[in-house]
Amino acid sequence: MLTHVVLLKFQPGTDRFRLDSLADSLRALPSQIPEIRDYTVGVDIGLADGNAEVAVIARFDDAEGHAIYTNHPAHRKVIEEQILPVLASRSATQFES
C-alpha cells in the first residue's frame, strides 16, 4: 500500500463554510476514482494555533494508483476550483504502508 498525506493551510479569512464545502468535495472523490482504497478528510477543530485547516489521508495499492488519482479530472477540478484560489501553503508526503 502507498499512503499519501496532505496538509493544507488557507489564506486568512477563509471561512468555515468554504472549508466544509471543500472537505465534502474531497470526500466525494472515492466514488469517482476507483484506485482510492481508503480516504479520510478532516477539517481542523482548532485545538492549537498554526495548524493546517484541512488534512487528507489517502491510500492506494501502489504508486500507479496514486498517479491516476493525482491526474484524475475530478481531483484536478477540486484543486483548481476550490483549493488553489485560497491556498496559502501545502505540505505532503507519500510512504509505503
Domain 2-96 matching CATH 3.20.20.20: the answer reads: no
Predicted TM-score of the model (pTM)? 0.94
Domain extents in the chain: 2-96
Enumerate residues 6+ apart whose C-beta is below 8 A from 11: 86, 87, 88
pLDDT, residue 51, reads 96
Average pLDDT, the chain: 97
Burial profile 26-57: b = 16 or more Cβ within 10 angstroms, e = fewer: beebbeebebbeebebeeeeeeeeeebbbbbe
State pLDDT tens for residues 38-81.
999 999 999 999 999 999 999 999 999 999 999 999 999 999 99
